Amino acid sequence: MVTELLSTSSADIEIAAELIKNGELVGMPTETVYGLAADALNPSAVAKVFAAKGRPADNPLIVHIADISMLTELALDIPEAAYRLAERFWPGPLTMILKKKDCIPDITSGGLDTVGIRMPDHMAARMLIEKSGLPVAAPSGNISGYPSPTKSEHMMRDMNGKIAAVIDGGECSVGVESTVISFENDNTVRILRPGGVTREDLLEVVDDVIVDPAILHELSEGQTVRSPGMKYKHYSPLAKVSIIEGEYEDFCDYVNQHKGNGVYALVFDGEESGVTVSALSYGYDDREQAHQIFSRLREFDLLGAKNVYVRAPKAEGVGLAVYNRLIRAAGFEVIQV
Ligand code: TXA
Ligand code: MG
């Protein structure tokens, strides 16, 4: 299959919408990461998504909508708080887990009776949904286990020859996936995956926000997961990633002692000179680190890195999402210095 690279022109989105209606897959830009889009209501189209990514069948897909009226067509028993959250954060990086209606096929929801729904903040994504007239299922467009794509080149690296088209909508502005929440009761939500909408943001709309312990800790054997995605290895480049937690001087000492062939460092902007190995930087504040993290992890593979020592981000604000992705990329290995 030849994977066509499309633009965000109205004519090209029309082509992409036809592909979606015909049960084909399209790489779709969003503000978080690129998604691998398919008609959420078509089981054979959704099956192609699982096959192209190599994704475990029990890991459900997020369904993307372009209009709030689509929400009531897809979900049941919607809590009042969900409408307030939608009002405040949509379009944007928030996914709400709700009880699903029967129109959502089991393959899309990974066999669960719930469905994650979000309205993306990218014109091309919403135009694709509107023009196809369909809710669009879209996991991140990476091969399962690899860092998520934040540029069309990343989508092409992972999906060229496997899907019908990729829409080049530029670099994703947020850079990490959406915040996934479930409802504990009408005024309490639980963050299952941290993202661009922070705990503090959510507290402006609901009384209580629980941060699920699985966000920063490895699940122990037999522990139940509230979100299937929590139990899989994730976001890992080919290189081995280690998070180094401690002061800058101690970080540099540790890395310099472990210098060798294929050893690299990922540091904050302006810190490259403290280490004697080759280093990339990933911004300084939480927003910038989120924006750059996946792209940097992919760059290390292009450089042929074998070991990457990462200066730990602050797990605050969107930094919680950055930390969550890195700790999974590192297989939960954190070195204290
Ligand atoms: O920003 C995003 O959310 C991107 C863009 C493309 O929208 N999508 C994305 O999808 O990150 P994916 O499939 O890579 O991650 C979805 C996560 C998984 O961890 C999955 O287990 C969880 O959301 N999830 C989806 N539906 C769920 C449900 N019904 N119950 C619990 N967790 C769910
Ligand atoms: Mg993903």
Expressed in angstroms and rounded, the spacing between residue 140 Cα and the centre of ligand 2 is 4
Sheet strands (E) in the chain: 4-6, 26-28, 35-39, 62-64, 75-76, 94-100, 114-118, 136-137, 165-167, 179-185, 188-193, 208-211, 240-245, 263-267, 278-281, 307-311, 334-336
The number of the ligand nearest the C-alpha atom of 64 reads 1
pLDDT of the residue at 225: 77
**pLDDT over 90 at 220, yes or no:** no
What percentage of the chain exceeds 90 in pLDDT? 92
Residue 20: other Cβ atoms inside 10 A: 26
pLDDT tens digits for range 236-262: 899 999 999 999 999 999 999 999 999
The number of the ligand nearest the C-alpha atom of 118 reads 1
Sequence-distant (≥ 6) Cβ neighbours of residue 85 within 8 angstroms: 94, 96, 181, 189, 202, 205, 206
Q: Which helix (H) or strand (E) holds 289?
A: helix 286-303
The model's pTM is 0.97
**pLDDT over 80 at 75, yes or no:** yes
**Ligand 1 atom 18: the closest Cα is on which residue?**
229
pLDDT (average), residues 292-303: 98
CA distance 193 to 210: 11
C-alpha distance across the termini of the chain, in Å: 49
- Residues 32, 175 contacting (CB under 8 angstroms): yes
**Index of the ligand 1 atom closest to the CA of residue 36:** 6
CA distance 241 to 236: 8
**Ligand 1 atom 21: the closest Cα is on which residue?**
229
**pLDDT over 90 at 231, yes or no:** no
Structure tokens belonging to residue 190: 């639980």
Which residue from 26, 93, 27, 85 is spatially nearest to 291, judged by alpha carbons? 93
The number of the ligand nearest the C-alpha atom of 230 reads 1
Task: Name residues contacting ligand 1 (CB within 6 A).
Answer: 30, 32-33, 35, 59-62, 93, 95, 97, 109, 112, 114-116, 120, 138-140, 177-178, 180, 192-193, 227-229
pLDDT (average), residues 168-179: 98
**pLDDT over 80 at 135, yes or no:** yes
**Ligand 1 atom 29: the closest Cα is on which residue?**
115
